[in-house]
Amino acid sequence: MPTGIFLSPLPNVANVVDDVIDQARRAYDLGVRQIWLAQQLDTDAITLAAVVGAAVPGLGVGTSVVPINPRHPLIVASLAQTAQAATHGHFSLGLGLGAHAIEQRTFGIDPAGTVARLREHLQVLRAVFDGDDVDVRGEHITAVPEWPVQVAGGHPVPLYVAAMGPKALQITGELADGTLPYLAGPRTIKDFIVPTITDAATKAGRPTPRVIAAAPVLVTDDRDAGLAAARAALSFYDTIPSYQKVVAREGLTSAADLAIVGSHDEVLEKLSAYRDAGASDVVISPLKRDNPVELEALWRVAAAL
């Protein structure tokens, strides 16, 4: 899997789908071969990935990430398989546990039992994607379908989870194809994420999992302004316990300290450190998403890396 890039609609566009397709085409022309899309309330990441992947043949498209709590895994599976068929095998499904406080306010979801729910959710998806009978009767999820669950003409769906805690990494190693950590620095990847998920996969008899590390990046010659942008964009993550633990593992004080800010060559060097730490793939998350010129600079970094 090549170096990826997060894409999102530019502000005030007439049609967000057309805008993301246009960005994806331009990025592809510059050499980018993998993009990732975040789940929002105004756009659906799996549907958008299907449309973009169909419009730009050969481009890898994935979700990073779709929260597991608001949707039943059979619905997620049907959407993912449809996207995989539409993109002719270039789709990857990335899932996340969600931010508890936000989901509780937005959906009224009780955050209790999220890790157990993750296991049941992945058990359903694993059975669907592997072509096995689906019969899950868990504490949180029941999935005993009476209708077909495989999409004709589809392809296997790579399944990733934005897991960073020990329990989530254990389950992910057992049932998924890898993890999609965001804001996990090289130290955390090398000393904690890679050994934890790899050990779980080995014990479950699964292939070596991918570690697809996403990092916030800004290409700029004005380092002070870039760091200010990082603090403004990432302060939200300092309020989330899972990210607080990641920052602490790196020996840092805030999420902004994990931002990669600098010239084209400086950014390349710092991103390479993630692969040196054991990440199988790297994803660039733009710190600023409203300037086409700055975005193209990141796409060139992705293509070069």
pLDDT in tens, 226-246: 999 999 999 999 988 888 999
Same structural domain for residues 8 and 152? yes
Domain annotation covers residue 169? no
Domain boundary among 139, 161, 183: 161
Same structural domain for residues 82 and 180? no
Same structural domain for residues 211 and 88? no
Q: Which pLDDT score, from 0 to 100, does residue 107 have?
A: 79
Q: Which pLDDT score, from 0 to 100, does residue 193 have?
A: 98
Query: Alpha-carbon distance 240 to 69, whole Å?
Result: 17
Nearest to 169 by CA among 205, 126, 201, 212: 201
Same structural domain for residues 303 and 186? yes
Q: Which pLDDT score, from 0 to 100, does residue 108 have?
A: 84
pLDDT in tens, 240-295: 888 899 999 999 999 999 999 999 999 999 999 999 999 999 999 999 999 999 99
Band of pLDDT at residue 110, cut at 50, 70 and 90: confident
Same structural domain for residues 71 and 148? yes
The count of structural domains within the chain is 2
Domain annotation covers residue 167? no
Same structural domain for residues 196 and 251? yes
pLDDT in tens, 210-221: 999 999 999 999
Same structural domain for residues 143 and 208? no
Name all contacts of 23-28 with Cβ < 8 Å and 24+ positions apart.
23/295, 24/52, 24/55, 24/56, 24/59, 24/61, 25/55, 25/56, 26/296, 26/299, 27/299, 27/302, 28/56, 28/58, 28/59
Query: Alpha-carbon distance 24 to 47, whole Å?
Result: 15
Same structural domain for residues 190 and 88? no
Rg (C-alpha) for the chain, rounded Å, is: 19
Alpha carbon separation from 3 to 202, 270, 285, 290 (Å, rounded)? 25, 14, 11, 21
Q: Which pLDDT score, from 0 to 100, does residue 101 have?
A: 73
Domain boundary among 131, 161, 191: 161
Same structural domain for residues 241 and 114? no
As a whole number, mean pLDDT of residues 124-143 equals: 96
Average model confidence (pLDDT) across the chain = 94
Domain annotation covers residue 168? no
Q: Which pLDDT score, from 0 to 100, does residue 99 have?
A: 73
As a whole number, mean pLDDT of residues 48-60 equals: 98
What's the predicted TM-score (pTM) here?
A: 0.95
pLDDT in tens, 89-103: 999 999 999 877 777
As a whole number, mean pLDDT of residues 2-28 equals: 96
CATH of the domain at 187: 3.20.20.30
Nearest to 181 by CA among 77, 273, 285, 104: 285
As a whole number, mean pLDDT of residues 100-125 equals: 86
Nearest to 10 by CA among 25, 28, 26, 22: 22
Domain annotation covers residue 181? yes
Same structural domain for residues 269 and 220? yes
147-151, 152-156, 237-241: the lowest-pLDDT one: 152-156
Query: Alpha-carbon distance 202 to 211, whole Å?
Result: 15
The domain of 263 spans 174-305
Same structural domain for residues 1 and 124? yes
Residue 153 pLDDT more than 80?
A: no
Residue 182 pLDDT more than 80?
A: yes
Length of the chain: 305
Domain boundary among 106, 131, 161: 161
Same structural domain for residues 116 and 259? no
